[in-house]
Amino acid sequence: MRKWMLRLGPLDEMFYILIGALALFLGVGAVYLNWQKAQQADLLARQNRRAVSLIRQFELSLAEAQSGHRGFLLTGEAEFLQPFSRAMESLDGQLILLREMGAARGPIGARLPQIEQLARQKMEELSVSAQAAWLGEREFAAGLVMQGRQMSTTEKLRDAMAELELSTLNEGERLNQTTLSSMKMAALLAVICCLGLFILFAVETQRTAARRRAAEHASAVKSAFLASMSHELRTPLNAVIGYSQMLQEEAETDNRTSDYQDLQKIESAGKHLLELINSILEMSKIEAGKVEVHASPFQVPDLVSEVVELVRPMAAKNGNTLDIVIGPGVTRMYSDVVKIRQCLLNLLSNASKFTQKGKVTLRVERVIEGQRTFLRFDVMDSGPGIPAEEQELLFEPFHQLESTPVRGKGQGTGLGLAITRRLTRMLGGDTYVQSEMGLGSTFTLSLPEELTLGALHAAPPLGPSDKPTVLVIDDDTAIHGLVRRLFEKHPVEVAVARNGEEGIRMARLLNPRVITLDVVMEGADGWEILRRLKGDPQLARIPVILLSILDTHGDPRGFLADEVFTKPVDVDRLSSAILRHAASGRAHSALIVDDSPDARVMLKRQLQNLGWTLYEAADGAEALEKCEEVQPGVVVLDLMMPNVDGFEFLTRLRSTDRGRETPVLVVTAMDLDPVQRQRLSQQAAAVVHKGALRGNDLIAQVLATLE
């Protein structure tokens, strides 16, 4: 089974899907027709059984009438008249019933007029002769009987009735045959349906397996490539660094100062290259989810002094002082000490590198937030500072500051901060920066004091960010700023690339929800980038919004894009389009739970742009029913409601199988106390304040809950 399935090509696959679908379609259609036919046959058979029983009753009544009639004629006793008239009445009723049945049924209907005529004739004979006898005209009555016998009405009637009974029975037999063959047919059709379903199922299983194999294969190829690339690069580097060190020793012995200095430069360039290789390898391992967390208890002051001693020579080289401030209560930590050491080293060496004749301070503080305790490591420098628009860029791979004086001097790999942020997120924390031009910068590592399983699961296992990312590929920095501003208050991350190549690289790395692409960029053909984005299996499903200074509507090359905007763009429309595309395919419906009809209307209006099905509920009880019924992609929940309130709703929803994973965004006007906030943080994806929602805010929040 598996073998033939593995050999299927894409064309064969389509063929099997067609066959499967066709079999299923024909099967179901035929089952329906067959079922109808069987129903009809069953109805006819029931009518026939009734007809036969009527016919038999009729014959019985006729015999009774005749025997009563005979008795009366022979004896002249009135008591024989009673069964006679009773039988005559029944005959009349039975004739009416037969006629009714005959009107509905062909075979009975065809014979019925003749039977009825004979029956009426017979009944007439019987009643006339009985009347004559009653009036004492026995001779006349006997004459009539004789005459009737000559006409042999009774025999004719009996024959006709027998014939009718026989034909009805025959028809019944035929109907039984039909039902039987229908049943055989049904069994056959069921087999065909099953076969169709099986083919479809097999093809789908094969497709899923193929996709999984392709992904596994890609991952394995990537790992193998990285390992071998790392090996191939290290081997020649070993010679470069080794020889230059050896020659340095010789030059030093022979007092050849200028040679010694040049050799030092070769060595340092070699070491920088090595650092780069190590960083790329590490970044790739993080991206591939191959970095494991090993938590153990350790003393924070020990770690701090160890790291500071390592960085001290570097700080001294640039004439910087290096201070440590350890706050009260900072002692033990339970986390991955190797990763924290690496992050601290990175931040401290950056600060020492980019600050000249200044001050670098490492401050450690213990911060309690709700029920969790964090350790905050602030690395502060008195360096040049970082412009606001470049601060977030720092954490993107391969971004170094445009404005830094050391750019291009081989002082960094451009990966250090990106790695630091990802590592701290793996440990349940984060890395961020605060800086003002001319006043220096502060880089902060915020990490849970105790690394719990919950903190680990909260951290994204792979993937660069836990927020939906929008990637802007544009050489126009005004557009970068514009898109950043659109989402600055939203839980949406904006990454920018200045050219197409960088854009494709970043798209692979960041896996953004949406890409905006300028098609008229300097030095790159945006159309070509669009073609490459849509031709790359990893990237093809990411929606692309084209932005162009030229009117490109109707340009056939634009058909690959998901939406097209002409600059200058209408910012509201652009932000709506970005959010709509970012949400596409993530969910298809939302349930709005609020006791105020006005609030529901307002929330609905805000979510309309998503193009989803929007359900409503006026309280928690109704919302639970709706959740069970429609299983919404997201629930937007008010807290203060009659009957079952928002808290109760969440508790009940989370205890159901289907509702356990449903993302819930709480929109409330309540001021929450710490206990309530704690409760919600465990059960809801996010909490936003009702008054704070403007424009596309709600959509952005809903989008973030889907991550």
Partner 1 sequence: MPTVLLVEDNEMNRDMLLRRLQRKGFDVLTANDGEEALRMTRQHLPAVVLMDMSLPVLDGWEATRRLKADPSTRHIPVIALTAHALPAERDRAIEAGCCAFETKPIDFPKLLAVMEAAQK
| Smaller CB separation from partner 1, 151 or 240 | 240
List the x/- string, 186-225, binding to partner 1 by CB under 8 A. Answer: ----------------------------------------
- Closest by CA to 420, choosing from 502, 233, 412, 74, is 412
Using CB under 8 A as the binding rule, whether residue 249 contacts partner 1 is answered as: yes
CB of 149 or CB of 294, closer to partner 1: 294
| Residue 87: count of CB within 10 angstroms of its CB | 22
Closer residue to partner 1 (CB): 271 or 505: 271
The piece of 129-137, 156-164, 267-275, 503-511 that touches partner 1 (CB under 8 A) is 267-275
96's CB contacts (< 8 A; 6+ apart) are: none
Q: Count how many residues are written for the chain.
A: 707
User: By the 8 A CB rule, do 75 and 85 touch?
Assistant: no
Write each residue from 617 to 636 as x if it is in contact with partner 1 (CB under 8 A), else as -, in one continuous string: --------------------
Sign of CA dihedral 337, 338, 339, 340: positive
**Placement of tokens 């010679």 in the chain:** 239
Binding-site size for partner 1 (CB under 8 A) equals: 22
Q: What is the DSSP string of 143-174?
A: HHHHHHHHHTHHHHHHHHHHHHHHHHHHHHHH
CB 667 within 8 A of CB 603: yes
CB neighbour class for 240 (10 Å; exposed up to 12, middle 13-18, buried from 19): middle
Q: Identify which range of 53-61, 110-118, 206-214, 245-253 contacts partner 1 by CB under 8 A.
A: 245-253
For the packed helices 646-654 and 674-683, what is the interaxial angle rounded to 10 degrees? 40
H, E, C per residue of 207-256: HHHHHHHHHHHHHHHHHHHHHHHHHHHHHHHHHHHHHHHHHHHHHHHCCC
Kindly tell me which of 236 and 289 has the beta carbon lying closer to partner 1: 236
Nearest-angstrom CA–CA distance, 32 and 206: 31
Residue 239 contacts partner 1 per CB under 8 A:
yes
Instruction: Pick the closer one to partner 1 by CB: 245 or 584.
Output: 245
Q: Is 16 near partner 1 (CB under 8 A)?
A: no
Nearer to partner 1, 154 or 223 (CB): 223
40 binds partner 1 per the rule CB under 8 A: no
* Residues 547, 567 contacting (CB under 8 angstroms): yes
Binds partner 1 by CB under 8 A, chosen from 62, 65, 241, 496:
241
What is the nearest approach in angstroms of partner 1 to the Cβ of residue 339?
Answer: 14
CB nearer to partner 1: pick between 270 and 429: 270
Note whether 230 binds partner 1 by CB under 8 A.
yes
Of residues 101, 185, 210, 274, which one binds partner 1 by CB under 8 A? 274
Is 322 one of the binding residues for partner 1 (CB under 8 A)?
Answer: no
By CB under 8 A, which span of 236-244, 565-573, 606-614, 625-633 interacts with partner 1?
Answer: 236-244
Q: Does 359 bind partner 1 (CB under 8 A)?
A: no
- Phi-psi map region of 150: left, alpha, beta (phi>0 left; psi -120 to 50 alpha): alpha
Output the CA–CA distances (angstroms, integers) from residue 435 to 357, 444, 565, in the order listed.
Answer: 18, 11, 35
Q: Does 227 bind partner 1 (CB under 8 A)?
A: yes
Can you count the helices (H) and strands (E) in the chain?
A: 21, 19
Cβ-contact 460, 469 below 8 angstroms: no
- Select from 193-201, 269-277, 335-343, 611-619 the region that touches partner 1 (CB under 8 A): 269-277
Interface with partner 1 includes 238 (CB under 8 A)? yes
Could you say which of 101, 169, 237, 456 contacts partner 1 (CB under 8 A)?
Answer: 237
Q: Which is nearer to partner 1, 251 or 445 (CB)?
A: 251
Tell me: does residue 235 bind partner 1 (CB under 8 A).
yes
Contact by Cβ (8 Å): 8, 16: yes
CB nearer partner 1, residue 239 or residue 437: 239
User: Using the rule CB under 8 A, which residue among 215, 246, 316, 458 binds partner 1?
Assistant: 246
What 3 state SS string does 97-124 have? HHHHHHHHCHHHHHHHHHHHHHHHHHHH
Contact indicator for 397, 417 with CB cutoff of 8 Å: no
Q: Does 117 bind partner 1 (CB under 8 A)?
A: no
Q: Are 479 and 519 in contact (CB under 8 A)?
A: no
Interacting residue with partner 1 among 29, 113, 136, 242 (CB under 8 A): 242
Distance CA 620, CA 613 (A): 19
Point out which span in 82-90, 230-238, 337-345, 640-648 binds partner 1 (CB under 8 A).
230-238
- Residue 519 to residue 525: CA distance in whole angstroms: 7
**Residue 589 touching partner 1 (CB under 8 A):** no
Give bridge partners of residue 617 from the DSSP assignment.
593
Q: Which residue type, as a one-letter code, is found at position 434? A: Q
Kindly state the smallest distance separating residue 297's Cβ from partner 1, in Å: 22
The DSSP symbol for 388 reads H
Told to check if 288 binds partner 1 by CB under 8 A, we report: no
C-alpha angle 517-518-519 in degrees, rounded to nearest 5:
110
The minimum distance between CB 257 and partner 1, in angstroms, equals 20
**Closer residue to partner 1 (CB): 128 or 247:** 247
Query: How far, in Å, CA of 485 to CA of 439, rounded?
Result: 24
Residue 270 lies near partner 1 (rule: CB under 8 A): yes
The span of 193-201, 210-218, 233-241, 399-407 binding partner 1 (CB under 8 A) equals 233-241
Binding of partner 1 by 454 (CB under 8 A)? no
Question: Which residue's CB is nearer to partner 1, number 271 or number 366?
Answer: 271
Q: In the complex, what is the shortest distance from the CB of residue 285 to partner 1, in angstroms, rounded to a whole number?
A: 9
Considering beta carbons, is residue 237 or 539 the nearer one to partner 1?
Answer: 237
Contact footprint for partner 1 (CB under 8 A): 227, 230-232, 234-243, 245-246, 249, 270-271, 274, 278, 281
